[in-house]
Amino acid sequence: MTHDFDKGYWEQHWAQSHGAASSDFEGNAPNPYLARETAGLMPDTALDAGCGTGGEAIWLAAHGWRVTAADISAIALDRASEHAAVASVSDTVTWVEADLTSWEPGRQFDLVVTSYAHPAMAQLAFYARISEWVAPGGTLLIVGHRNDHASTGHSQRPPANAAVTLSDITEVLDPTAWRIETAEEKTRTLAVPGGRSLRLHDVIVRATRRR
């Protein structure tokens, strides 16, 4: 059975699949690539596109970035705001409830990150869309699921256009406009509630927008 990544899907996902207490800040760690891929960047403005419960946005804010964090799910954003308060970074994160298929930030950012986000549009079109929000000289960081439905952690099968490969992503970025800094795949095991583990096949792409 397939599903669409619309608002109803994500509200249900965060309400049921991630039903842990909103105060469980320890379970909201950022992905393991964020620190490595931003280590050489000077903190300035950042956008987290599809921020979920805020792990990456909060980490960035704690490391000096001024963050705009957007997600379609009000439930996820409520939890993210609570997590930001616990981390004492509420003043440097702006939470935005937005449909990323149509929302326009009205500005560009020095860093645009997206981590496992799936909006209700083709995945590659989404990456192309958010790339336009990177300022000249800025950085785009994509962390996603490899073309492998079993690795997504969703109980239902996602649409075919939600699955992409590493080469798919890098080919979206015009080499006259972008310099690829990182393009790799990693496999890792993530502990999930109930004592289970989930094997993730990650794709990581970092690119710098040429001036």
Residue 103 lies in a domain: yes
Q: What CA–CA distance (Å, rounded) separates 190 from 177?
A: 35
Domain that holds residue 166: 43-209
Give how far Cα 109 sits from Cα of 68, 84, 121, Å: 9, 21, 22
The residue with greater pLDDT, 158 or 95, is 95
Q: What CA–CA distance (Å, rounded) separates 199 from 135?
A: 34
Q: What is the pLDDT of residues 147-173, one digit of tens each?
A: 654 344 444 445 556 678 999 999 999
Residue 32 lies in a domain: no
Residue 36 lies in a domain: no
pTM of the shown model = 0.87
Give how far Cα 130 sits from Cα of 2, 78, 85, 87, Å: 25, 23, 27, 27
CATH assignment of the domain containing 65: 3.40.50.150
pLDDT at 61: 98
Place of tokens 């289970």: 196
Residue 28 lies in a domain: no
